[in-house]
């Protein structure tokens, strides 16, 4: 999962790009990058690390220009090479820079075609570089010395025809303008906003609405599946539907975990959707555990489960307490490669408040259970400080299948719910009771905010991949690249090029 932003301004945009990336930092802590343009020259800074570590005053001073794009990244396949930090750049045609959130499911095949037929070299394992070169080739193939917005939209349409999977993209075409577009299924989020200034109207494109509102822009709307937006150098805005066939199926995990609660994605309040998750989970507890459920206190596992846990406690008429204090200088364990590193970081990140646990029957609430490593450690922490019983609730259904659309949900063999019943998972994590959200209730929690959305990508829960191109062979290749053993092998590798000539 990554965060993207692009700004077409009337004054220098370096500080606003930096500020937007800090707001989107939760979407990726592995690498960050910004590129700006002025007088036909590009100015780029990118490296491994968080935004505050990658950009210093000396870098910011060099990022001049009124147009720019930015990116925060975490590695889908576990690689932390700075060679894969974004934005990416290709010099022909015109000089194009691009930042991407998502994952192309046919990137390997396209990489071969790019070498054999398009005569383009791919220098990293990143599917974002593949996507950039596809767009660049399609734009160059039009043979225009000065492309119009029609030409640019034609190139985007050709990208939709060649690329499969999930992609939300911001790109700059040097000397021409800022571009954003979304895959025909609308899996990954992208939204744009505007504001009036004394010098004219400015525009911003970003992954989440909070990056728009925090900078003082007004949200206009989300891009539709297959839609593209282009702001030229004169500040004129154009939008166009560039896909012949679209099916709207946004990723439901954005509402469960990834997005900030103060964001709106596809006109759905993330905060309200999580409140509804807590409400529906409480109703299931009453149905299955009865009114005399024996829960003394509800405690969230910070931060993303707080909203659901609060509403769950209210509906159960049980005390809500903050039982864990969080060290905010430790990164998200979900993002960390390797089980041992994740396990070690849990106790560094969370510290229990003993008086909230001692002698009580505690219901711990988390947004989801993926590998089970984190919740097992947390349950043991609760027991260590005197909890009588420790129940566990997940605001999402069991995660049984890998994600192929840009979220590092690991090899299925590392997913604790894969091949296990709910009771077996309960035993494995050491809980006295376990309850999951029903998938229908999760979908209803999100869809209530926007009834026009009739389908969500729920593939991690039901194994139904909305792009229709995922088979067992693809999942087996994915497992080889994503399991923790593979990640340990590539920790010290800078670039591992695919054999695109074979």
pLDDT tens per residue, range 58-70: 999 999 999 999 9
Picking from 409, 435, 450, the residue at the C-terminal end of a domain is 450
Q: Residue with structure tokens 């690498």?
A: 31
* Contact assessment for residue 441 and residue 280, using Cβ atoms and an 8 Å cutoff: yes
Which residues contribute to the annotated binding site for Mg(2+)?
304, 366-367
The pLDDT assigned to 81 comes to 62
Task: Report the CATH number at residue 180.
Answer: 3.60.20.10
Same domain? 189 vs 294: no
Instruction: Answer yes or no: do 49 and 112 share one domain.
Output: yes
Specify the number of domains making up the chain: 2
Domain extent for 381: 272-327+345-450
pLDDT at residue 499 in the model: 35
Residues 40 and 139 in one domain: yes
Residues 164, 294, single domain; the answer is no
Is the CB of residue 174 less than 8 Å from the CB of residue 96?
A: yes
- Domain assignment present for residue 465? The answer is no
Is residue 259 situated within a structural domain? no
C-beta separation of 222 from 189 below 8 A: yes
**pTM of the entire predicted model:** 0.92
The pLDDT value given to residue 498: 34
Q: Considering the domain boundaries, does residue 488 fall inside one?
A: no
Rounded to the nearest 5 percent, the helix, strand and coil shares of the chain are 35, 25, 40
Among 428, 450, 472, give the residue marking a domain's end.
Answer: 450
Last residue of a domain, one of 232, 248, 264: 248
Q: Does 364 lie in the same domain as 223?
A: no
On whether both 240 and 280 belong to a single domain, the answer is: no
- SS3 assignment, position 241: strand
Residue with tokens 């990022």: 63
In a domain, 479, yes or no: no
Same domain, residue pair 366 and 290: yes
> Please, which residues bridge with residue 33 across strands?
46, 71
Using DSSP's 3-state secondary structure scheme, residue 135 falls into helix
242 assigned to active site: no
**Do 290 and 217 fall within a single domain?**
no
Domain check: are 184 and 278 in the same one?
Answer: no
User: Based on the number of CB atoms within 10 Å of its own CB, is 494 exposed (0-12), middle (13-18) or buried (19 or more)?
Assistant: exposed
Domain harbouring 360, CATH code: 3.40.50.2020
Look at residue 348 in the predicted model and tell me its pLDDT: 85
Going by C-beta distance under 8 Å and a sequence separation of 6 or more, which residues neighbour residue 169?
4, 98, 99, 100, 101, 131, 179, 180, 181, 182, 190
Q: Which of helix, strand or coil describes residue 319?
A: strand
Residue 368 near residue 332, CB atoms below 8 Å: no
Which residue stretches of the chain have pLDDT < 70? 75-81, 330-344, 410, 482-502
Same structural domain, 304 and 192: no
Is 423 a domain residue? yes
Instruction: Give yes or no: residues 23 and 160 share one domain.
Output: yes
Q: Which residue has the tokens 């954005």?
A: 254
One domain, residues 311 and 430? yes
CB neighbour burial string for 344-356, b if at least 16 within 10 angstroms, e if fewer:
ebbeebbebeeeb
List pLDDT tens digits, range 111-128: 988 888 888 888 888 999
Which segments are annotated as binding site? 304, 366-367
Residue 415 within a domain: yes
Residue 476 lies in a domain: no
By the 10 Å C-beta count (0-12 exposed, 13-18 middle, 19+ buried), 465 is classed as buried
Whether 199 contacts 10, CB under 8 Å: yes
Please identify which of the residues 2, 242, 375, 458 carries the catalytic annotation: 2
Q: Can you tell me whether residue 397 is helix, strand or coil? A: coil
């Amino acid at each position: 999962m990554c965060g993207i932003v692009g700004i077409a301004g009337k004054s220098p945009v370096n500080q606003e790009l930096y500020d937007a990336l800090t707001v989107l930092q939760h979407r990726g802590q592995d690498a960050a990058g910004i590129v700006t343009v002025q007088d036909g020259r590009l100015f780029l800074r990118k490296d491994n690390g968080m935004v505050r570590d990658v950009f210093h005053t000396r870098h910011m001073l060099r990022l001049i220009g009124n147009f720019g794009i930015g990116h925060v990244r975490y590695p889908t396949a576990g690689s932390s090479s700075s060679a894969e930090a974004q934005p990416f750049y290709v010099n022909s045609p015109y000089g194009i820079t691009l930042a991407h959130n998502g994952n192309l499911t046919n990137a390997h095949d396209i990489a071969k075609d790019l070498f054999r037929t398009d005569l383009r070299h791919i220098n990293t394992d990143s599917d974002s570089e593949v996507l950039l070169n596809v767009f660049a080739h399609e734009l160059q193939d039009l043979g225009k010395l000065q492309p119009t917005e029609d030409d640019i939209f034609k190139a985007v349409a050709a990208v939709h025809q060649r690329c499969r999977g999930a992609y939300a993209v911001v790109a700059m075409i040097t000397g021409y303008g800022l571009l954003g577009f979304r895959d025909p299924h609308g899996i990954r989020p992208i939204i744009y906003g505007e504001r009036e200034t004394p010098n004219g109207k400015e525009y911003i494109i970003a992954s989440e609405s909070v990056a728009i509102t925090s900078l003082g822009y007004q949200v206009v709307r989300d891009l539709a599946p297959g839609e593209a937006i282009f702001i030229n150098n004169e500040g004129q805005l154009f939008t166009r539907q560039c896909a012949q066939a679209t099916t709207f199926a946004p990723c439901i995990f954005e509402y469960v975990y990834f997005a900030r609660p103060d964001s709106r994605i596809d006109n759905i309040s993330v905060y309200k959707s999580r409140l509804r998750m807590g409400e529906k989970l409480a109703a299931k507890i009453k149905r299955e555990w009865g009114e005399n459920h024996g829960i003394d206190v509800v405690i969230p596992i910070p931060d993303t489960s707080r909203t659901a846990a609060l509403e769950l406690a209210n509906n159960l008429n049980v005390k809500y307490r903050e039982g864990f204090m969080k060290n905010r200088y430790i990164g998200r364990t979900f993002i960390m490669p390797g089980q041992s590193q994740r396990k070690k970081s849990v106790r560094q990140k969370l510290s229990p408040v003993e008086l909230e646990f001692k002698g009580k029957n505690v219901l711990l609430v988390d947004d989801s259970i993926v590998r089970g490593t984190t919740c097992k450690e947390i349950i043991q922490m609760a027991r260590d400080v005197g909890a009588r019983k420790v129940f566990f609730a997940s605001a999402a259904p069991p995660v049984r299948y890998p994600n192929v659309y840009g979220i590092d949900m690991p090899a299925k063999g590392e997913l604790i719910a894969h091949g296990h019943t709910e009771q077996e998972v309960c035993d494995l994590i050491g809980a006295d009771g376990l309850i999951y959200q029903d998938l229908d209730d999760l979908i209803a929690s999100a869809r209530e905010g926007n009834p026009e959305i009739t389908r969500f990508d729920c593939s991690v829960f039901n194994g139904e991949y909305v792009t229709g191109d995922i088979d067992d062979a693809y999942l087996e290749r994915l497992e080889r690249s994503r399991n923790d053993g593979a990640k340990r092998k590539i920790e010290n590798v800078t670039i591992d090029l695919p054999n695109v000539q074979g």
